[in-house]
Chains A and B, each alone.
Chain A
Amino acid sequence: MAAKSDFLRSVRQAIDKGFRPVPEAPSRPPSRPRPADAIKRADEVRRQLVSRRAEAIATLLKMAPLQAWNVVRVATRVEAADAVAAIAAKLGAKTTVRSDHAVFEDTPVDAALKERGVESHRLTALGRDTRKDLAARAELGVTGVDWMIAETATAVLVSRKGAPRIASLLPPVHVAVVEASQVVPALGDALALVHGQAAAEKWDGFYVNLVSGPSRTGDIEQTIVIGVHGPGQVHLVLIG
């Protein structure tokens, strides 16, 4: 494409024309993508997770309320299903939508909701239009996460089959169900893990959201208002 090569050529000319050595950043060649390095790095992080976990969970429990998460801690996936249903019931929700994250496998989450008179819809089981309509109408969106970052209480959500983008976006309340093994200390760890997985599984692209609390704005008089476009209330159900 002419536009691209012309563009890059004029950038190169500008670089050369304005170049002056920068002592704080000595010249070195540009880096190239190396998927193998990304995979290795992720393995490294994963290996260290176990020994860092207890501390990470302690940090998460401290940070989550600061980021306005409502936290419930439970021991098992079955108890998590109950906790989700309890949140829905307390809200007086009639309709919930949920993702198909692994954390819901073999759990009675749908049954627990039904027991309390709440409809539960697996978004994946629906057609495209119905899926959007239901998510826009639901009072509650329930998802698992890929990782949970302790330092900022951030849920890492990689969008994929069974985990659509709208599940945690359209409903006014989002419940994230997190397993202790998914808690990582820092943003850098989560980035390495996602990147490593993308490289290992040769994803053609990836859409990731870092969610660190409810939707908010300070755009009018710098007064914080919770719940603008995204969920205004977020719950964290931590298993383990």
Chain B
Amino acid sequence: MVGVAERDVGGACVPDIKTAQFKRLARIAVADAALQRSHEKLEHFRTGREAMVAEIGPAQWAAMQDQARAIKWHTLEHLDTYLDQLATNVEKAGGHVFFAKDAKEANEYIVALARARGVKTVVKGKSMVAEEMGIAEELEKIGIKRTETDLGEYIVQLAHEPPYHIIAPAVHKSKEQVLELFAREGLDTAGVTDIPGIAGVARKVLREAFLKADMGMTGANFGVAETGTIAIVTNEGNGRMCSTLPRIHVATMGMERVIPRFQDLDVFLKLLTRSATGQRITSYVSMFNGPRRSDEEDGPEEFHLVILDNGRSRLLANPELREAMLCIRCGACLNACPVYNKVGGHSYGWVYPGPIGAVVTPVMVGITKAKDLPFASTLCGACREVCPLKINLPRMLLALRAESVQGQPQNRSGSLAEGAMIKGWYGVVRFGWGFSLAGKLGSLLQKPFVRGGRFRWLPPPLGAWLRSRDFPAIAAKPFRARWKGS
């Protein structure tokens, strides 16, 4: 479980973070054979995504990406206006909106609400923003029983661990481990041996929790300014439960999740579900903008939307890093990243792992606390290839590296040569040569170090961190090249 101690970090308050321990955590993960095996399961996401892009057709996919990028860039340029519009429309529908500048403010609001309404139990859907806030622990502090209802989240709650992956929180656990965990927690696992059986055990426990909870919490994949509509995508149906059964519904949303028009949901939903899980659409997309309508027969009596900054305005204020605000948290860059596939989700030390985590975490928690994260990448470009928003993650990682190296030249191995190399790369990517060339260069540079599909050598400092193990190599042909049939 993410610790409860909160620290003030450059104006944002975040739960206990372990980002400074990246090297240590990465080494542990690399040496853990079971974890390494679990990473192979991510192949499902990768092949699923590729099949979905192929089904839509690369040209159409590219057009959707361009459309989504244009909408998002435009939204960011008017983010204050659209957030205002969103809030106004939620209020019009009878909901309440709270703008929280950091996790602490957001938690205080929700805790006060729960107190005032006499809430005893809370059912929670998956929300990375809620993880960021550490709301679960805050609720438990005042004696409220909190139940994670996404199966993966439920598993990591029982294991007292943070999520391993932003889409698949418990991907690192084998079914045997889950069974053992359930048994240890006193769940009735008699006669259960297979995965459907395990899911059935969870279903029973969680159904009870849904039916008696006072408050339901969900995240927000998108917030539509025009109508105040919050859209969440789920497969299990826990999002529907949380927004239907309890008398109070609280949704938490990162402020970058806003999109201008209801119609924009079309392209964003299509990009999100295909990139995240390789599905045309998730089993459910639930949309709401307030409590139940006056003529409805069920649904919550109260609806609260909590919109969180928590360091996001620092990303927005940085012209080099603003592009990270286009992110729709699909997780595709995690699945594609050779480093994530080696060090796993917990090494990054905070809520957001993988390439996107390596970019946003240093800004959100402070670069001095996460100085190694921008180096947790081979700059192979695989993340950018699969990103539905075509976010140039390698460029931003380089920008952060330059900052990290400039800040503390003595602190790492091979720092002088490395610093020069990074600045050189950064120049290439930033000025004119363009990413394609740099990417090609990268795969050429990578060639001598790859043998039998595994890295034998990694550029410092990764080599030093991950010594003694080989590393999955990047696909010879980037996806972009395969589309073009080259």
Contacts and interface: CB of A to CB of B under 8 A. Distances in A.
Interface size class of A (residues with CB under 8 A): 35 or more
B322 interface: yes
B99 A4 contact: yes
14 contacts: A4-B87, A10-B313, A18-B318, A123-B297, A169-B237, A169-B240, A188-B263, A205-B95, A211-B283, A212-B280, A216-B235, A217-B235, A228-B235, A230-B236
Interface in A113-155: 123-124, 128, 131-132, 136, 151-152, 154
Given A204-B294, A221-B41, A229-B203, A169 B241 contact: yes
A27 B281 CA distance: 32
B123 to A, nearest CB: 10
A124 B297 contact: yes
B304 to A, nearest CB: 13
Nearest to B226: A33
Contact of B317 (A18, A38, A162, A229): A18
Contact of A33 (B42, B105, B227, B313): B227
Interface in A188-206: 188, 191-192, 195, 198, 203-206
B322 A204 contact: no
B77 A19 contact: yes
Contacts of A216: 235-236, 283
B152 interface: yes
Contact of A15 (B77, B94, B225, B245): B77
A212 B234 CA distance: 11
B429 to A, nearest CB: 16
Contact of B240 (A164, A195, A204, A230): A230
B84 interface: yes
B99 A18 contact: no
A136 B227 CA distance: 32
Given A160-B293, A221-B174, A209 B284 contact: yes
B381 to A, nearest CB: 19
Interface in A144-186: 151-152, 154, 159-162, 164-166, 169, 186
Contacts of B262: 38, 191, 195
A228 B203 CA distance: 6
Nearest to B266: A188
Interface string B323-348: 00000000000000000000000000
Contact of A208 (B41, B280, B287): B287
B180 interface: no
A136 B236 CA distance: 17
Interface string B223-244: 0011111000001111011011
A15 B79 contact: yes
Nearest to B93: A205
Nearest to B72: A25
A64 to B, nearest CB: 12
Nearest to A67: B280
Contacts of A12: 80
A225 B196 contact: yes
Interface in B42-92: 42, 44-45, 66, 69-74, 76-85, 87, 89, 92
Contact of A166 (B87, B105, B244, B280): B244
A221 B237 contact: no
A33 B293 CA distance: 20
Contacts of A188: 263, 266
A6 interface: yes
B288 A187 contact: no
Interface string B252-294: 0001000011110110011000000100111111111111111
Interface stretch (B138-146, B205-213, B431-439, B442-450): B205-213
A192 B185 CA distance: 47
A136 B210 CA distance: 11
Contacts of A33: 85, 89, 225-227
B195 interface: yes
A151 to B, nearest CB: 8
A127 B316 CA distance: 50
A25 B73 CA distance: 6
Given A7-B309, A204-B294, A219-B169, 20 more contacts: A10-B309, A13-B313, A14-B313, A14-B314, A18-B316, A20-B322, A30-B82, A151-B280, A159-B298, A162-B297, A164-B296, A164-B298, A165-B240, A165-B298, A195-B263, A217-B151, A219-B170, A220-B173, A220-B198, A231-B237
A229 B206 contact: yes
Contacts of B322: 18, 20
Contacts of A22: 73, 77
B149 interface: yes
Contacts of B238: 228-229
A198 B227 contact: yes
B98 interface: yes
B159 to A, nearest CB: 13
Nearest to A133: B211
Contacts of B171: 219, 221-222
Contacts of A191: 262-263, 265-266
A91 B292 CA distance: 33
Contacts of A67: 280
A207 B195 contact: no
Given A187-B269, A214-B283, A166 B298 contact: yes
A107 interface: no
Nearest to B293: A205
A51 interface: no
Contacts of A205: 92-95, 228, 288-291, 293
Residue of B92, B293, B318 with most chain A CB atoms under a 10 A cut-off: B293
